[in-house]
Amino acid sequence: MSSLATKSGLNLVREYLDVCNAASEAHRHTLPYKPIIAAYDSIFAKRQVGVDIYESDPAEIETTVTIRLRNDNFEVVPETEADPSFHLKLKRSYMEDVVAHREEYIRHPEKLDWDWIKSRIGIEALHSPVHGANMRPPKKPSAETPAKGADMRPRSARRK
Protein backbone atom coordinates (compact mmCIF):
# COMPACT_ATOMS: atom_id res chain seq x y z
CA MET A 1 0.00 0.00 0.00
CA SER A 2 1.38 3.43 -0.89
CA SER A 3 1.98 6.19 1.63
CA LEU A 4 -0.78 8.23 -0.06
CA ALA A 5 -3.40 5.67 0.93
CA THR A 6 -2.69 6.27 4.61
CA LYS A 7 -3.00 10.07 4.52
CA SER A 8 -5.74 11.57 6.63
CA GLY A 9 -8.57 13.28 4.80
CA LEU A 10 -7.42 16.68 6.10
CA ASN A 11 -3.86 16.25 4.80
CA LEU A 12 -5.11 14.91 1.48
CA VAL A 13 -7.43 17.89 1.02
CA ARG A 14 -4.62 20.33 1.87
CA GLU A 15 -2.33 18.77 -0.72
CA TYR A 16 -5.14 18.60 -3.30
CA LEU A 17 -5.91 22.29 -2.70
CA ASP A 18 -2.22 23.13 -3.13
CA VAL A 19 -2.37 21.61 -6.62
CA CYS A 20 -5.64 23.41 -7.44
CA ASN A 21 -4.22 26.73 -6.21
CA ALA A 22 -1.00 26.31 -8.18
CA ALA A 23 -2.91 25.35 -11.35
CA SER A 24 -5.33 28.27 -11.08
CA GLU A 25 -2.52 30.73 -10.37
CA ALA A 26 -0.45 29.50 -13.31
CA HIS A 27 -3.41 29.85 -15.70
CA ARG A 28 -5.38 32.70 -14.10
CA HIS A 29 -5.12 34.99 -17.13
CA THR A 30 -5.47 32.47 -19.97
CA LEU A 31 -8.50 31.16 -21.81
CA PRO A 32 -10.48 28.99 -21.15
CA TYR A 33 -9.49 29.09 -17.47
CA LYS A 34 -10.10 32.80 -16.90
CA PRO A 35 -13.94 32.48 -16.85
CA ILE A 36 -13.82 29.34 -14.68
CA ILE A 37 -11.55 31.05 -12.18
CA ALA A 38 -13.74 34.18 -12.21
CA ALA A 39 -16.75 31.93 -11.58
CA TYR A 40 -15.23 30.23 -8.58
CA ASP A 41 -14.15 33.63 -7.25
CA SER A 42 -17.81 34.72 -7.30
CA ILE A 43 -19.17 31.39 -6.01
CA PHE A 44 -16.84 31.26 -3.05
CA ALA A 45 -17.04 34.91 -2.03
CA LYS A 46 -17.55 34.65 1.75
CA ARG A 47 -18.86 31.07 1.45
CA GLN A 48 -17.51 27.83 2.78
CA VAL A 49 -17.79 24.45 1.07
CA GLY A 50 -17.76 21.03 2.69
CA VAL A 51 -15.59 18.53 0.80
CA ASP A 52 -16.94 15.02 1.41
CA ILE A 53 -14.30 12.38 0.72
CA TYR A 54 -15.42 8.85 -0.11
CA GLU A 55 -13.57 5.63 -0.89
CA SER A 56 -15.80 3.84 -3.42
CA ASP A 57 -19.46 4.53 -2.58
CA PRO A 58 -20.46 8.24 -2.69
CA ALA A 59 -23.13 7.50 -0.08
CA GLU A 60 -20.48 6.40 2.45
CA ILE A 61 -18.54 9.53 3.38
CA GLU A 62 -15.13 8.84 4.93
CA THR A 63 -14.56 12.39 6.19
CA THR A 64 -15.62 15.97 5.52
CA VAL A 65 -13.26 18.93 5.39
CA THR A 66 -14.54 22.50 5.01
CA ILE A 67 -12.73 24.88 2.65
CA ARG A 68 -13.01 28.55 1.67
CA LEU A 69 -11.46 30.97 -0.78
CA ARG A 70 -9.19 33.57 0.82
CA ASN A 71 -6.85 35.88 -1.10
CA ASP A 72 -7.51 33.96 -4.34
CA ASN A 73 -6.48 30.63 -2.77
CA PHE A 74 -8.47 27.72 -1.41
CA GLU A 75 -7.69 26.91 2.21
CA VAL A 76 -8.96 24.56 4.89
CA VAL A 77 -11.29 26.09 7.48
CA PRO A 78 -10.61 25.18 11.14
CA GLU A 79 -13.32 22.84 12.46
CA THR A 80 -14.45 25.40 15.04
CA GLU A 81 -15.24 27.92 12.26
CA ALA A 82 -16.76 25.45 9.77
CA ASP A 83 -20.19 26.39 8.41
CA PRO A 84 -20.41 25.12 4.80
CA SER A 85 -22.99 26.58 2.40
CA PHE A 86 -22.98 23.43 0.28
CA HIS A 87 -21.10 20.14 -0.03
CA LEU A 88 -19.25 18.46 -2.87
CA LYS A 89 -18.09 14.87 -3.06
CA LEU A 90 -14.65 13.83 -4.25
CA LYS A 91 -13.32 10.29 -4.53
CA ARG A 92 -10.21 9.59 -2.46
CA SER A 93 -8.39 7.79 -5.30
CA TYR A 94 -8.96 10.78 -7.63
CA MET A 95 -7.52 13.21 -5.07
CA GLU A 96 -4.56 10.89 -4.45
CA ASP A 97 -3.90 10.75 -8.20
CA VAL A 98 -3.91 14.56 -8.43
CA VAL A 99 -1.47 14.82 -5.52
CA ALA A 100 0.78 12.08 -6.94
CA HIS A 101 0.91 13.73 -10.39
CA ARG A 102 1.04 17.33 -9.19
CA GLU A 103 3.08 18.79 -12.08
CA GLU A 104 0.88 17.17 -14.73
CA TYR A 105 -2.28 18.69 -13.22
CA ILE A 106 -0.65 22.10 -12.84
CA ARG A 107 0.47 22.07 -16.49
CA HIS A 108 -2.95 20.81 -17.64
CA PRO A 109 -5.63 22.15 -15.27
CA GLU A 110 -8.34 20.87 -17.61
CA LYS A 111 -7.63 17.45 -16.10
CA LEU A 112 -8.78 18.71 -12.71
CA ASP A 113 -12.41 18.00 -11.87
CA TRP A 114 -13.98 21.49 -12.05
CA ASP A 115 -17.52 20.09 -12.46
CA TRP A 116 -18.53 21.03 -8.92
CA ILE A 117 -17.81 24.67 -9.80
CA LYS A 118 -19.47 24.43 -13.21
CA SER A 119 -22.65 23.00 -11.70
CA ARG A 120 -22.91 26.03 -9.40
CA ILE A 121 -22.91 28.45 -12.35
CA GLY A 122 -25.30 26.44 -14.52
CA ILE A 123 -22.80 24.72 -16.83
CA GLU A 124 -23.54 21.02 -17.26
CA ALA A 125 -21.01 18.77 -15.57
CA LEU A 126 -19.11 16.33 -17.79
CA HIS A 127 -17.98 13.87 -15.15
CA SER A 128 -19.85 11.60 -12.82
CA PRO A 129 -18.93 11.86 -9.14
CA VAL A 130 -18.19 8.14 -9.00
CA HIS A 131 -15.36 8.24 -11.54
CA GLY A 132 -13.85 11.69 -10.93
CA ALA A 133 -12.52 13.55 -13.93
CA ASN A 134 -12.19 11.63 -17.15
CA MET A 135 -11.62 13.77 -20.16
CA ARG A 136 -13.90 11.90 -22.56
CA PRO A 137 -16.61 14.01 -24.18
CA PRO A 138 -20.14 13.23 -23.04
CA LYS A 139 -22.23 10.86 -25.14
CA LYS A 140 -24.83 12.64 -27.22
CA PRO A 141 -28.35 11.27 -26.83
CA SER A 142 -29.97 10.06 -30.04
CA ALA A 143 -33.35 11.40 -30.96
CA GLU A 144 -36.25 9.01 -31.38
CA THR A 145 -38.15 8.95 -34.65
CA PRO A 146 -41.48 10.74 -34.21
CA ALA A 147 -44.60 8.58 -34.41
CA LYS A 148 -46.32 11.17 -36.61
CA GLY A 149 -45.14 14.27 -38.37
CA ALA A 150 -41.94 15.28 -40.05
CA ASP A 151 -38.60 13.72 -39.16
CA MET A 152 -36.45 16.85 -38.81
CA ARG A 153 -33.18 15.01 -38.26
CA PRO A 154 -30.51 15.20 -40.98
CA ARG A 155 -30.76 12.42 -43.57
CA SER A 156 -27.59 10.79 -42.22
CA ALA A 157 -29.22 10.33 -38.80
CA ARG A 158 -32.55 8.95 -40.03
CA ARG A 159 -33.37 5.30 -39.74
CA LYS A 160 -34.07 3.58 -43.00
Structural domains counted in the chain: 1
Determine the pLDDT at residue 128. Answer: 45
Cα distance between residue 111 and residue 117, in whole Å: 14
Other beta carbons within 10 Å of 35: 11
| 147 within some domain | no
Q: Hey, CA dihedral for 110, 114, 115, 119, is it positive or negative?
A: negative
Domain annotation covers residue 156: no
41-77 pLDDT, tens digit each: 777 777 888 999 999 998 999 999 999 888 878 899 9
* Closest residue by Cα to residue 22 from 109, 151, 83: 109
Q: Tell me what the pLDDT averaged over the chain comes to.
A: 77
- List beta partners, residue 66: 50
Q: Is the pLDDT of residue 96 over 90?
A: yes
Domain membership flag for residue 106: yes
Report pLDDT for 138: 63
Query: Residues 120-153: pLDDT tens digits?
Result: 545 444 444 444 555 556 666 776 766 777 767 7
pTM greater than the 0.95 cutoff? no
Q: Could you tell me if residue 44 is inside a domain? A: yes
Residues 79-97: what's their mean pLDDT? Answer: 90
Q: Quick one: pLDDT band at residue 154, thresholds 50, 70, 90?
A: confident
Q: Which domain holds residue 60?
A: 3-124
152 within domain boundaries: no
